[in-house]
Amino acid sequence: MQEFLGLKYDIKSSRRVKDGFRITTSSNGHLLFKFPRSTAFKDNLAREYMQQNFDYIMNTFKRLKEREERAKVRIERERQEQENYIESYLQNNVNSLFIFGKSYDVATLSVESLSQILYDKALGLLDSIAELMDLEHPPLKISYCKGYLGQCRRDVIKIDYRNVLSNEDLLSYLIVHELSHLRHMDHSPRFWAHVARYYPRYKAAKKELITITKYHTQILKHYDLLPEKLR
């Protein structure tokens, strides 16, 4: 690590850089210059750039630092919101889970029984929404995968186990989303327009579903009702 004008910097040779040089800046106040291997006087060129662009570099560091601080505040806020939600849920549902309008004693529940409850609810919604959309849907499967909350293929629709504590409205959004993939397999504007026809507030629901599922995952884990694959 070298220093010039109070700026800390490193210089590296790179096969990928064919001409000129590339600069990477970090919020901790470091610069990384990447030059072609054949470039002579790399240090002189780096120092010349820093001298000529000192104000710009300092402003860039400032913006990166501010962005980093905003991210820290956001992460802490989200952590606190999750903590408050889980604490409130556990206090209001002592040793019980509230599932699609009904309270269940956790002592009577298992991963298998929760999967069946979710399957029955999702299948009922799937049948009614598919009829509304004039679609024939493939078989339904409850999945246990961290990578998605729902998935649609021509031969199967998957609803992930973590949705079991979602309310019926959010589950309906997820099913509209997955059924819409039978019309449009990508996430193109036409796909979202199709979703909006049957679930107008899909943007808010999408965001809420992702957030609430994170909370509910921790609640299921608290009661040892989270499959190992989802831990």
Place of tokens 């979602």: 166
Residues 120, 108: Cα–Cα separation, whole Å: 18
**Which pair of tokens denotes residue 8?**
């800390």
CB 141 within 8 A of CB 155: no
Length of the chain equals: 231
pLDDT in tens, 69-93: 999 999 999 999 999 999 999 999 9
pLDDT band at 28 (very low <50, low <70, confident <90, very high): confident
pLDDT in tens, 164-212: 999 999 999 999 999 999 999 999 999 999 999 999 999 999 999 999 9
pLDDT band at 47 (very low <50, low <70, confident <90, very high): very high
Residue 79 vs residues 7, 84, 214, 216: alpha-carbon distances, Å: 35, 9, 11, 14
Domains of the chain: 2-67 (no CATH), 100-230 (3.30.2010.10)
pLDDT in tens, 103-162: 999 999 999 999 999 999 999 999 999 999 999 999 999 999 999 999 999 999 999 999
Contacts of 8 (CB under 8 A, 6+ apart): 1, 2, 29, 30, 31
pLDDT in tens, 11-23: 999 888 888 899 9
pLDDT at 16: 87
Contacts of 82 (CB under 8 A, 6+ apart): 214, 215, 218
**Which pair of tokens denotes residue 71?**
């991210």
Query: Does 29 have pLDDT greater than 90?
Result: no
pLDDT at 18: 84
Residues 182, 122: Cα–Cα separation, whole Å: 17
What predicted TM-score, i.e. pTM, was given to this entire model? Answer: 0.79
Residues 28, 61: Cα–Cα separation, whole Å: 8
